[in-house]
Chains A and B, each alone.
Chain A
Amino acid sequence: MTETEQLDDDVAIEAATEVLPLDAWHRAKGGRMVEFAGYWMPIQYEGIMAEHLWVRENAGLFDVSHMGQLALSGDKVAEALETLVPGDISALKPGRMRYSLLLDEDGGILDDLMITNEGDQFGIVVNGAVKWEDIGHLRENLPDDITLNHNEDYGLLALQGPKAVDALARLVPEAASLVFMQAARATWNGHAIGLSRSGYTGEDGFEISLPNEALTDFADALCAMDEVKPIGLGARDSLRLEAGLPLYGHDLDPTIDPVEGDLAFAISKRRREEGGFPGAARILGHLADGSPRKRVGLLVDGKLPVRGGAKLFDGNTEIGVVTSGGFAPSVGAPIAMGYVPTGLSEPGTAVAAEVRGKRVACTVAAMPFVPHNYVRKTGA
Chain B
Amino acid sequence: MPRYYTEEHEWIDVDGDVATVGITDFAQGQLGDIVFVEVPDTGAELSQGGDAAVVESVKAASDVYAPVDGTVTEGNSQLEEDPALVNSDPEGEGWFFRLALSDKSQLDGLMDAKAYKAFCDAL
| Residues in A lying within 8 Å of B, measured CB to CB | 1-7, 43-44, 47-50, 52, 234, 237-238, 303-305, 307, 326-327, 329, 334, 356
Could you tell me the dominant secondary structure of chain B's interface residues? strand
Contact of B60 among A4, A52, A303, A304 (CB under 8 A): A4
Q: Which residues of A contact B27 (CB under 8 A)?
A: 1
Pairwise interchain contact B59-A234, C-beta atoms closer than 8 A = yes
Known A-B contacts: A6-B60, A327-B33. Give 9 more (CB < 8 A): A1-B65, A2-B62, A4-B61, A4-B62, A49-B33, A52-B58, A303-B35, A304-B36, A304-B56
Pairwise interchain contact A48-B33, C-beta atoms closer than 8 A = yes
Q: Which residues of B contact A50 (CB under 8 A)?
A: 33
Residue of B nearest to A235 (CB): B58
Q: Which residues of B contact A334 (CB under 8 A)?
A: 35-36
The number of chain B residues touching the other chain, given as a range, is 20 to 34
Q: Which 10 A-B pairs have the closest CB atoms?
A: A327-B35, A49-B33, A48-B58, A1-B8, A1-B9, A5-B60, A234-B59, A3-B62, A305-B56, A303-B36
Pairwise interchain contact B65-A327, C-beta atoms closer than 8 A = no
Q: Which chain B residues in 32-72 approach chain A with CB under 8 Å?
A: 32-33, 35-36, 38, 54-65
Residue of B nearest to A237 (CB): B59
Residue of B nearest to A9 (CB): B60
Pairwise interchain contact B36-A48, C-beta atoms closer than 8 A = no
Pairwise interchain contact A326-B59, C-beta atoms closer than 8 A = yes
Q: Which residues of B contact A238 (CB under 8 A)?
A: 58
Pairwise interchain contact A48-B55, C-beta atoms closer than 8 A = no
B19 on the A face (CB < 8 A): no
Contact A48/B32 with A43-B59, A234-B59 known, Cβ cut-off 8 Å: yes
| Residues in B lying within 8 Å of A, measured CB to CB | 8-10, 23, 27, 32-33, 35-36, 38, 54-65, 80, 83
Measured CA separation A364–B32 after assembly (Å): 29
Pairwise interchain contact B63-A327, C-beta atoms closer than 8 A = no
Contact of B35 among A5, A305, A356 (CB under 8 A): A305
Q: Which residues of A contact B64 (CB under 8 A)?
A: 1
Minimal beta-carbon separation of B22 from chain A (angstroms)? 11
Q: Which residues of A contact B8 (CB under 8 A)?
A: 1-2
Pairwise interchain contact A307-B65, C-beta atoms closer than 8 A = no
